[in-house]
Amino acid sequence: MTRRTTTIAVLGADDVARLREVRLAALRQEPAAFLSTFDQQVTWSEDEWTRELGRGTWLVAEDRGSDVGLLGATPEDDIPREDRYASYMWVRPDRRREGIGTLLLETLIDRLRADGVPCLWLWVMDDNPNALRLYEGAGFRLTGDRQPLAADPTRHEVRMVRRL
Ligand SMILES: CC(C)(COP(=O)(O)OP(=O)(O)OC[C@H]1O[C@@H](n2cnc3c(N)ncnc32)[C@H](O)[C@@H]1OP(=O)(O)O)[C@@H](O)C(=O)NCCC(=O)NCCS
């Protein structure tokens, strides 16, 4: 399998269970990459997942019936109302380094640009060089914002932004 056989689906209102399943797979598999934990989100009710789905744009990378990647974009309080944050970025371990993360980002950027979104922001752990390289390659730059994690102040996240 290669990136050539992978397509990107935009989740719709009926995809609550799908969002839950892919996100929980990501949290279970890669706990250090995210601020939320599997134990927190596994307890979310259907209403909470429905609200999460409705909060933003959610892309799933799929390949022959399997979901192999996830990426979302949501508005947040600490950025201008028209901008979005990228979050939930994850590619299944057996499909990494094929360009699927890049494909998710490029697809998201194209959609947001078409919708007139000016900037896409994100936070990433500064001990996650693979994600930092992915984002730099997709045109994000460091803003200089850096903060310790509430749950572990020995670790830090840095903020990046890409003008669309
Ligand atoms: C980070 C992640 C999403 C990358 O997904 P991916 O599909 O492997 O990314 P791509 O194949 O598009 O890689 C794009 C570039 O990122 C960099 N990169 C990604 N993974 C890398 C690795 N393991 N080692 C070195 N560079 C890496 C490379 O520059 C790569 O370009 P190249 O393959 O041409 O050298 C994936 O590793 C992942 O899901 N990690 C765990 C979750 C996570 O960290 N999410 C980010 C939260 S902010």
Write down how long the chain is: 164
For tokens 């979302």, name the residue: 72
CATH number, residue 71: 3.40.630.30
Kindly give the distance from the C-alpha atom of residue 60 to the centroid of ligand 1, in angstroms, as a whole number. Answer: 16
**Residue 134 CA, closest ligand 1 atom number:** 16
pTM of structure: 0.96
The answer to whether the CB of 72 is under 6 A from ligand 1 is no
**Total number of domains in the chain:** 1
The answer to whether the CB of 134 is under 6 A from ligand 1 is yes
Q: Which pLDDT value is given to residue 4?
A: 81
Amino acid at 41: Q
Q: Which pLDDT value is given to residue 77?
A: 95
Q: What is the DSSP letter of 31?
A: G
How far is the C-alpha of 9 from the C-alpha of 24, rounded, in Å? 18
Q: Which pLDDT value is given to residue 2?
A: 66
User: What residues make up the domain containing 147?
Assistant: 3-163
Kindly give the distance from the C-alpha atom of residue 55 to the centroid of ligand 1, in angstroms, as a whole number. Answer: 26
For the chain, residues with pLDDT lower than 70 are: 1-2
